[in-house]
Amino acid sequence: MGRKPLSGFAGAPPTTERRLIGIAVSPGIGIGPVFSAAEQPALAPRRKIAGTEVAAETTRLDAAIQQSRKQLIKLRGKLAALPEKTQAEIAPLLDAYLQMIGPSRLVRGARARIATALLAAETAVADETAAIAAAVLAAPHSDNAAAQARRAEEVREIGRRLIRNLTNAPFRSFAALPEGAVLVAEALRPADAALLDPSRLAGVVTEEGGSDGHTAIMLRALGVPAALGVTGLMQAAQPGSTIVVDGGTGLVTVNPTEPVLAEARRQVAAYARGRQRLARLRRLPAVTADGEHVELQANMEIPAELALITQAGAAGIGLLRTEFLFMNRETLPDEAAQYETYRSVVEAMDSDTVTIRVLDWGGEKEIEALAANGMVPELGANPALGVRGIRMLLRRPELFETQLAAILRAAASGRVRVLLPMVTNLAEVRAARDIYERVARRLRRRGERLPDTLPPLGIMIETPGAALAADALALEADFFAIGTNDLTMYTLAVDRGDSDVAALYDPLHPAVLRLVQFATEAALRIRMPVSLCGEMAANPRLVPLLLGLGLRSFSMNASAIPRVKQMVRTLKIDDCARFARRVMEQSDPARIQELILGS
Ligand code: PEP
Ligand code: MG
C-alpha cells in the first residue's frame, strides 16, 4: 500500500451506539477501548540543513502538502456515505484543513523557516504549527475559549498530517497501546501492522484498506480480528469509546449497549471453542473422502507466525514473503542476517518444504530501507504497474544476488524452493536463472555447503500476462505458485487495497477463474508442480472448485488450514470435477457466486 497516514478528527466522543460496516478481513470478535492511532504525534527529531539543501527541502514540503491535499479530498469524497448530521460536522473541518495547506500562513511560514532558519521541512512544519497554535490561543478579544482551543487543535492536527507524510515513518508508538485495546486508524501500512503484538491487541479497525491488501493479509496472519474500509470510523470512534469489531462480518459497533456487549462476549467464547474443536484436526491427514492427498501449506509474513504454522499442522511453507526482512529499518539486511533468518525457518520446518519468495518490492509494498539506500526508483504514478518484484531485482542484481546467496546457503539445512514474484515474460525467468546459477557457482567456489541439486526455481503466476503465457513459462520454471491476489487485481483493474473499489474485487470473476484454470492445466500437462497461494486458498467454500480445476496444493494463512482441511476431508474428486465444469460454463459472476457461496 502506498504511504497512508494515520489520522483522525478532533471532537468530543459521542456516546450513543453507532453501527458501521466495513470489509471483514480477519475473523474473530474484538471488544475493547478505542486506541486511536491519531493520538500519537509523528516522531520527527529536530534537524538542521545546509544552505545547499534548501531547494530539496522545499520540494519535500511541497510534495507532502500535495499528498495531504489528496488524502483530505479523498476523505471528503467519502462523506456522502455518512448520515447528513455527521457530514455537516466533518465537512467544515476538512475544508479548514484544506485551507490551511493552501496559500496560507502555515505554508508560507514553513517555507520561510526552511529558507532562513535552515530547518528540515518536518522541523519547520512543527515549529510553524506550534507558533500558529500558540498565537490562536493567545489571541485577544475572543470570548470563546473552547472555539480557540478547537482551532489550535486543528492547526496541530494538520501539522501532524504534514509531518507524517514528510517523514514517511511507520507508526512506531504501539508500545503505548493499552492491553486489550482496539486500534483505530485512518489507515495502517503493512509495515505498521508488522509491529503489532497480537497478544496485547483486541482488534484493528481502519477507515481505509481493502480485503486482500497486505495490511489485511498481515492482520489475518497475526490472527487479530479486523475490519478495514470502515467509512465514518474516525468520527464515530473517539478515544474513550468502547468498540466491538466483528472481523467475520465487518460490523463495527461503537459505544455498544449492554445487550450488544453481552452478545459480543458470548461470541468471543463461542469463537474460542470453535478454534479448539478445529485444532483436533491437526493430526488428521488432508485427504479427500475418496483418498486423494491434498497438500495444505502455510503462507508466512513474519517469523512470529512460526509457532502458529507448526501448530496448525501445515505441510510446509508454500509462500514465505520476505518483505518483512526489509521493513521498519533504515539499512538493508546483509547476506549473513538473511541467512540466519532463512535457516531458522527451514530448520523449524524440519523435513517440510519452505518456499522462499525473493523480495517483492513495489506496488503497495513500499519499503523504506530500499529507498533510504537509493536502491529503488521513486514509486511512479502507477506503482502497481511499475518497477515491481522481479523487475526491480533484475535492475539491482547486487540485492538479488545477496538474497539468493542467503537462501541457497539455508537450503543446506532442509528442503527449500525459490520463488520469483511478478513475472510477466520468459526473459525474466531466464535472466533470473542465470543469476541464480552464477550465485551458486560463486558460493561453491567460496567453499559454502550447498545441496548437490539446486533448489527448484519457480514463478508466481499473478499477472494475466503470466497466466496466458503459462504454457511457455512452464518450460522455463520448475514450479508455479498462483497468486490470485494480484491476479484478480490486474485482471479486473481493481486495486486490492482500495476500499473504494473493494466491491469490484472478485476472485470468482470468470476472467480470473479462466486464468487460474489455464495456468493450472499448463503445469499439469507437463507434470510440473503447481500450487495456489493467494487468499482464495484460505476459503473452505472454494475448495471444491479448486480441486475440480485440478489443483492439489494450497498455501494459506496458518489459521485457515484446519477449516480447509475439514472441507477437503468431506469431498470426492469426481464431484469436484463435475462442479468445476458447471462453474466454468458460467459467464455471469453473480451466478458463479451463487453456485459457490450458495447465496
Ligand atoms: C498474490 O498476489 O496472490 C500473492 C500471493 O502475493 P502477494 O499477496 O504477496 O502479492
Ligand atoms: Mg502478489
Contact between 127 and 44 (Cβ < 8 Å): no
Q: Extract the C-alpha cell encoding 412.
A: 543446506
Angstrom distance (rounded) from CA 382 to CA 294:
38
Tell me, using a 6 A CB cutoff, whether residue 321 lines ligand 1.
Answer: yes
CB within 8 A of 275, min separation 6: which ones?
A: none
Angle (nearest 5°) at CA 305 between 303 and 308: 145
Contact partners, residue 142, CB within 8 Å, separation at least 6: 148
> Tens place of pLDDT for every residue, the chain, 599 residues?
333 333 334 444 557 899 999 999 999 999 999 998 765 555 567 899 999 999 999 999 999 999 888 878 877 776 676 667 667 767 788 888 899 998 899 999 999 999 999 999 999 999 999 999 999 888 876 667 777 877 887 888 889 889 888 876 654 567 678 899 999 998 888 878 878 888 889 999 999 888 888 889 889 988 899 999 998 898 888 888 999 999 999 999 999 999 999 999 999 999 889 888 888 888 899 999 999 999 999 999 988 889 889 889 999 999 999 999 998 777 899 999 999 999 999 999 999 999 999 999 877 777 777 776 777 776 677 888 988 999 999 999 999 999 999 999 999 999 999 999 999 999 999 999 999 999 999 999 999 999 999 999 999 999 999 999 999 999 999 999 999 999 999 999 998 888 888 889 999 999 999 999 999 999 999 999 999 999 999 999 999 999 999 999 999 999 999 999 999 999 999 999 999 999 999 999 999 999 998 74
The answer to whether 141 is a known catalytic residue is no
Is the distance from CB of 358 to CB of 403 less than 8 angstroms?
yes
pLDDT for the residue 41: 52
Q: What is the pLDDT of residue 7?
A: 38
Ligand 2 geometric centre to CA of 462 (Å)? 6
Q: Which atom of ligand 1 is nearest to the CA of 485?
A: 3
Query: How many angstroms separate the CA atoms of 477 and 474, rounded?
Result: 5
State the alpha helices, DSSP H only, in 425-483: 426-445, 464-468, 470-473
In the numeric block, the cell 504514478 is attached to: 381
Asked if 450 and 408 count as a contact pair (C-beta separation under 8 A), the reply is yes
**485 CB less than 6 Å from ligand 1?**
yes
Please give the distance, rounded to the nearest whole angstrom, from the Cα atom of residue 271 to the centre of ligand 1. Answer: 28
Question: Relative to the CA of 323, which ligand 1 atom is closest?
Answer: 9
Active site residue 509: no
β partners of residue 203: 182
Give the separation between CA 492 and CA 23, rounded to whole angstroms: 19
Instruction: Supply the pLDDT for residue 348.
Output: 95
Q: In ligand 1, which atom is closest to the CA atom of 534?
A: 3
Q: Could you write out the three-class secondary structure of 348-391?
A: HCCCCCEEEECCCCECCECCHHHHHCCCCCCCCCCHHHCCCCHH
How far is C-alpha 272 from the chain's CA centre?
A: 25
SS3 at position 573: helix
Q: Which residue type, as a one-letter code, is found at position 411? A: A
Q: Is 483 in the pocket of ligand 1 (CB under 6 A)?
A: yes
CA of residue 480 to ligand 2 center, whole Å: 13
CA of 485 to the centre of ligand 2 (A): 6
- Residue 484 Cβ inside 6 Å of ligand 1? The answer reads yes
In 3D space, the residue among 160, 172, 236 whose CA is nearest the CA of residue 205 turns out to be 236
pTM for this model (two decimals):
0.77
- The pLDDT value recorded for residue 597 is 84
Q: What are phi and psi of 481, to 5 degrees?
A: -125, 115
Catalytic choice (141, 293, 509, 533): 533
CB of residue 533 inside a 6 A radius of ligand 1? yes
Residue nearest to ligand 1 atom 3, measured at CA: 483
Compute the distance between CA of residue 144 and CA of residue 150 in angstroms, rounded to an integer: 10
What CA–CA distance (Å, rounded) separates 561 from 553?
Answer: 12
- Ligand 1 center from residue 460 Cα (angstroms): 8
pLDDT at 4: 36
Q: Which atom of ligand 1 is nearest to the CA of 357?
A: 9
pLDDT given at position 76:
77
**C-alpha 220 – ligand 1 centre gap (Å):** 14
Evaluate whether 106 touches 100 at the Cβ level (below 8 Å): yes
In the sheet that 181-185 helps form, which strands lie side by side, from edge to edge?
18-21, 251-254, 242-246, 29-36, 181-185, 201-206, 226-228, 23-26
User: How far is 36 from 468, CA to CA, in rounded Å?
Assistant: 45
Beta bridge partners of 48: 119
Q: Which residue's CA is the closest to the ligand 1 atom numbered 10?
A: 486
Catalytic-role residue among 214, 293, 509, 576: 214
Q: 47: alpha, beta or left, given left = phi > 0 and alpha = psi -120 to 50?
A: beta
Q: Whose CA is nearest to atom 6 of ligand 1?
A: 483
Confirm if 31 and 242 have CB atoms less than 8 A apart: yes
Instruction: In whole angstroms, give the CA distance from residue 455 to residue 448.
Output: 15
Pairwise CA distance, residues 154 & 122, whole Å = 17
SS3 at position 417: strand
E strand residue ranges, 143-277 = 181-185, 201-206, 226-228, 242-246, 251-254
Cβ atoms 122, 44 nearer than 8 A: yes
Ligand 1 atom with the smallest distance to the CA of 217 is 8
Determine how many CB atoms are found less than 10 A away from the CB of residue 165: 26
Closest CA to 440 of 491, 474, 404: 404
Phi then psi dihedrals of residue 365, to 5 deg: -95, 85
Alpha helices in 280-358 (DSSP H): 306-311, 335-348
Q: For position 414, what pLDDT does the model report?
A: 96
For residue 395, give every residue at least 6 positions away whose Cβ sits within 8 Å of its Cβ, in sequence order, or none: 387
Residue where the block lists cell 547486487: 398
